[in-house]
Amino acid sequence: MPGSYSATARAHANIALIKYWGKADESLVIPTTSSLSLTLDGLTTQTTVEFLADGDSATGSAVLQDTLSIDGRLQGGTSLQRVSRFLDLVRDRAGIALPARVASRNTVPFGAGLASSASAFAALAAAASRAAGLELPDRELSRLARRGSGSACRSIYGGLVKWNAGHDDGSSYAEPVENPLDLAIIVVLISAREKPMSSREAMRLTMCTSPLYPAWVQASDDDMRGALAAVSQGDLRALGEVAEANALGMHAAMMAARPGVIYWLPQTVAALAAVRDMRTHGFDAWSTMDAGANVKVLTSAPDAERVADELRNRLPDCTVEVHRPGSGVQMVG
């Protein structure tokens, strides 16, 4: 195997302004719609992948197996299986059959609707491919990361990023978007607990059972065109309005699933109402939500601290954090 057996990469989570919700192809993770996101600073995953030569198994077993630790805790079950399946893609491409030791550390709460899988699989894709001796250009790395978690393809890049839905493996990838706007995202942390239903399960249920889902897909195409036009024109208000509407439409489709998928808590409703009322008092702020109880607020970077302070006053029981655009995936060391 050429190159190093070990590599470390760091990636940031991203928050979608035009949402990804639903797969046209489950096995290849091809989405039903294109999406637009902002990669954020502060919400990071750092992952080291080491491919082990014979006799170096972390388990001490005669049968070499992958191992996974997250924040210092060994993982098994579904988490390990998902990582091993992803590593198989890397091993197949690199032509190797070695097991791997994977160690990951995060500043993103797992499964709380803060895009932990985006930063996790972007970092894993970069570290694993480099450790396997592969030198992938960003577009290929984005396609690879997508196979682990759809939104991970966007975390390969910093700033504003578009994921082209495409129709097959080769045409579904993310790319950066030129952005004249100076944006920030404020996270209103309502719950850091793991959500009651995974995004993957909720996505499938919404697609299969919600009568509102086809209408949301159709509207999402218009929303993407509107969002890109707003960005190119430097129109924060237009971008905020379409982002808020797109997220509420996604959650409406989820709630109409059978059974309904409802992540909202009382404080979620309070936060959404606070953002809407703040606009009547001159604040440039628009809400968005992923699959979870937490609310994110889009605003301009110069106004971010003022908006955050107002949110703290209105929502004293919630943690409010300001995040500015973050960088794309980076190799460490």
Q: Quick one: 31 and 54 in the same domain?
A: yes
| Residues 161-178 pLDDT 10s | 999 999 999 999 999 999
pLDDT at position 54 = 63
Strands 100-106 and 67-70: parallel
Residue 62 lies in a domain: yes
Position 58 confidence tier, pLDDT thresholds 50, 70, 90: very low
Q: Quick one: 157 and 230 in the same domain?
A: no
pLDDT at position 61 = 43
pLDDT at position 216 = 98
* Percent of the chain topping pLDDT 90: 88
| Residues 128-161 pLDDT 10s | 999 999 999 999 999 999 999 999 999 999 999 9
Q: What is the CATH number of the domain that holds 95?
A: 3.30.230.10
Report the predicted TM-score, pTM, of the whole model to 2 decimal places. Answer: 0.93
Total domains, the chain = 2
Q: What is the mean pLDDT of the chain?
A: 93
pLDDT at position 114 = 53
Q: Which domain holds residue 279?
A: 183-323
Residue 247 lies in a domain: yes
Q: Quick one: 174 and 198 in the same domain?
A: no
pLDDT at position 191 = 87
Residues 227-246 have a mean pLDDT of 98
Position 116 confidence tier, pLDDT thresholds 50, 70, 90: confident
Residue at which a domain ends, from 179, 199, 231: 179
Residues 73-97 have a mean pLDDT of 96
Angle, in degrees to the nearest 10, between helices 77-94 and 138-148: 150
- How many CB atoms lie under 10 A from the CB of residue 55? 6
